[in-house]
Amino acid sequence: MFQQPFRSQEYRQNDVLGASPLRLVVMAYDLAILSCEKKDFEKATRAISVLRDALDFDYQNVALGLFRVYQWCLDCIRQGDYTSAISALSELRDAWVQTEKKITPVNTASVQPSRMSLETPA
């Protein structure tokens, strides 16, 4: 009974360690969206900050556009407008999932169109 949360944490850790870079991006969006749904200011801002800080400014136009969206989401959250942040993050997440589907071989089961659960079982 006490090992269940540990196993869940171990499973998530293995999932992260074995994930492709694109899957990690989707997972970060999942965490940001879930945190916004729960109105968890700290986790939501941390998850969006991870996405923002991972931007590659060698691709300046794309990175700058995403940077501005992430900053806007952080501003929304600071103002308590989680709904707007969820909307923007969900659209971006869906775009990353579509990209992942296009570049991941068909026989790989890594693409999951629905958001994964990041809940810790009770």
Q: What is the pLDDT of residues 58-111, one digit of tens each?
A: 999 999 999 999 999 999 999 999 999 999 999 999 999 999 899 877 554 554
**Residue 64 counted as domain residue:** yes
The number of distinct structural domains making up the chain is 1
pLDDT at 76: 98
Structure tokens at 32: 């940001």
- Assigned domain for 107 exists: no
For the segment 22-58, what is each residue's pLDDT rounded down to a tens digit? Answer: 889 999 999 999 999 999 999 999 999 999 999 999 9
Domain range for 68 is 19-98
On the CB side of 39, CA atoms within 13 Å amount to 4
The mean pLDDT value for 2-22 works out to 64
**CATH number (domain holding residue 36):** 1.20.120.340
Asked, for residue 4, whether it belongs to a domain, the answer is no
